[in-house]
A and B are shown apart, each in its own frame.
Chain A
Amino acid sequence: MFAEFGYGVLLVGFIVTIYSGVAAVYGVTHKSAALVESARRAQLLTFPLITLSSLILIYLLVNNHYEVAFVYEVTSRSMPTYLKVTAWWGGQAGSLLFWSWLLAVFTSAVTLRKWDRDAEFLPWVIVVSSVTLAFFLGMIVFYENPFTRFWLVNGNVMPSMFSPSAVATVFTPQDGQGLNPLLRHPGMVIHPPMLYLGFVAYVVPFAFAIAALVTGRTDDRWTRITRRWSLWAWLFLSFGIVLGGRWAYDVLGWGGYWGWDPVEIASFMPWLTGTAFLHSVMIQEKRGMLKQWNMILIILTYALVIFGTFLTRSGVLSSVHSFANSPIGPFFMGFVTLTLVTSVALLIWRWPLLQSETEMKSMLSREALFLLNNLLFMGILVVCFWGVIYPLISELFTGQKVTVGPPYYERATGPLFAGLLFLMAIAPLSAWGHSTIQTLGRALWKSFALAAVVTILLTFTYTQNIYALVGFFLVTLVLSATLYEFWRGTRARQKSQKENFFTALTSLMGRNRRRYGGYIIHISMALMAIGILGIELFQKETQGTLGQGESLNIANYTVTYRELASWNSPGEGVNYTRSVVDIYENGIYLGQLAPRIDFYYDAEQNMTIPGQRSTLRDDLYILLLDWQPVSTMGATFKIYVNPLVNWLWIGSLLFLAGIIFAAWPDHDPAEEPARRNAARNSQQTSAAD
Chain B
Amino acid sequence: MNKFFLGGLLILAAVVYLIASSTQASAEYFMTVDELKEDGDSAYGKSLRLSGAVIGDTIQYDPQTLTLTFEIAHVTGNNKEIEAQGGLAEVLYVAVNDPARQRVTVVYIGVKPDLLRNEAQAIMTGKLGEDGIFYAEELLLKCPTRYEEAVPEQAENG
Shortest distance from the beta carbon of B70 to any chain A beta carbon, whole Å? 16
Determine if B29 and A605 form an interchain contact, defined as CB atoms under 8 angstroms apart: no
Task: Please state if A177 and B150 are interface contacts (CB–CB under 8 Å).
Answer: yes
Q: How far is the CA of A76 from the CA of B39 in the complex (A)?
A: 47
| Residue from A66, A150, A359, A605 in contact with B115 in the complex, judged by beta carbons closer than 8 Å | A605
Asked if A323 contacts B148 (CB within 8 A), the reply is yes
CA distance A603 to B117 in the complex (A): 14
B125 pairs with A405, CB closer than 8 A: yes
Mark the stretch among A238-246, A375-383, A555-563 that contacts chain B.
A375-383
Q: Is A545 an interface position by the 8 A CB rule?
A: yes
| Residues A72 and B152 in contact, CB atoms below 8 Å apart | yes
Residues of chain A with a CB closer than 8 A to B149's CB: 324-325
A92 in the interface (beta carbon within 8 A): yes
Closest to A171 in B: B155
A400 within 8 A of B: yes
B140 / chain A contacts, CB cutoff of 8 Å: 320
Which chain A residues border B151 with CB–CB below 8 Å? 157
Confirm or deny: B123 has a beta carbon within 8 angstroms of a beta carbon on chain A. yes
Fill in one digit per residue for B1-36: 1 if any A CB lies within 8 Å of its CB, else 0: 101100110010011001101110111111000000
Partner of A383, one of B19, B29, B64: B19
Question: What residues of chain B lie closer than 8 Å to A12, measured between beta carbons?
Answer: none
- The verdict on A155 contacting chain B, using a C-beta distance below 8 Å, is yes
The size class of the interface chain B forms with chain A is 35 or more
A604 at the interface (CB under 8 A from B): yes
Known: A405-B26, A625-B112, A626-B112. A543 touches B18 (CB 8 A): no
Q: How far is the CA of A323 from the CA of B142 in the complex (A)?
A: 10
Complex contacts, A634 vs chain B, CB 8 Å: 63
A245→B66 CA distance, assembly (Å): 28
Known: A174-B154, A543-B110. A400 touches B29 (CB 8 A): yes
Query: Which residues of chain A from 561 to 612 have a CB within 8 Å of any chain B CB?
Result: 603-606, 608
Question: CA A368 – CA B6 in complex, angstroms?
Answer: 13
Instruction: Indicate if the CB atoms of A638 and B111 lie closer than 8 Å.
Output: yes
B25 & A390 in contact (Cβ 8 Å cutoff): no
* A449 interfacial by beta-carbon distance below 8 Å: no
- Kindly state whether residue A411 has any CB partner on chain B within 8 Å: yes
Cα–Cα distance between A409 and B26 once the two chains are bound (Å): 9
The interface residues of chain B lying within 8 Å CB-to-CB of A404 are 22-23, 26-28
Per the bound structure, the CA–CA distance linking A403 and B77 in Å amounts to 13
Give the contacting residue for B19; candidates A318, A371, A386; CB below 8 A: A386
In contact, B28 and A403 (Cβ under 8 angstroms)? yes
Asked whether A402 lies within 8 Å of B29 as measured between CB atoms, the reply is: yes
Residues on B with beta carbons closer than 8 Å to the beta carbon of A626: 63, 111-112
> Which residues of chain A come closer than 8 Å to B155, judged between CB atoms?
150, 152, 156-157, 171, 173
A350 to chain B, nearest CB (A): 22
Task: Report whether B15 and A73 are in contact in the complex, using a CB–CB cutoff of 8 Å.
Answer: no
Most A-side CB within 10 Å, residue of B112, B115, B155: B155
Task: Answer whether residue A407 sits at the interface, using C-beta atoms and an 8 A cutoff.
Answer: yes
A535 to B121, CA, bound (A): 30
Contact with A along B34-51 (1 / 0, CB 8 A): 000000000000000100
Contact in complex: A408, B154 (CB < 8 Å): no
Q: Which of these, B3, B18, B153, contacts A363 with CB under 8 Å?
A: B3
Instruction: Determine how close the nearest CB of chain B comes to the CB of A379; give it in whole angstroms.
Output: 4
A3 → chain B, closest Cβ, in Å? 16
Asked if A537 is an interface residue, CB under 8 A from chain B, the answer is: no
* Residues of A close to B4: CB separation below 8 A: 360, 363, 368, 371
Of B23, B29, B64, B111, which is within 8 A of A408 by CB?
A: B23
In the bound complex, CA of A473 to CA of B23 (Å): 28
Best-buried of A360, A407, A412 by chain B (most CB within 10 Å): A412
User: Given A324-B148, A545-B64, A604-B146, A401–B77 Cβ distance below 8 Å?
Assistant: yes
Q: Is the CB of B27 within 8 A of A402?
A: yes
Per-residue contact bits, chain B 125-158, to A (CB 8 Å; 1 contact, 0 not): 1000000000000001001001111111111001
**Complex CA distance for A92 and B112, rounded to whole angstroms:** 30
Flag whether A131 is at the interface (Cβ < 8 A): no
The answer to whether B18 and A383 touch across the interface, beta carbons within 8 angstroms, is: yes
A391 within 8 A of B: yes
Q: How far is the CA of A73 from the CA of B22 in the complex (A)?
A: 41
Please report which residues of chain B, range 46-83, place their CB below 8 angstroms from some CB of chain A when the two chains form the complex.
49, 63-64, 66, 77
- Given A325-B147, A402-B27, list of 8 further CB < 8 A pairs? A66-B152, A375-B8, A386-B23, A409-B22, A411-B22, A605-B146, A625-B111, A634-B63
Q: Return 6 A-B CB contacts under 8 Å, by A number.
A: A171-B152, A371-B4, A386-B19, A605-B114, A626-B63, A636-B111
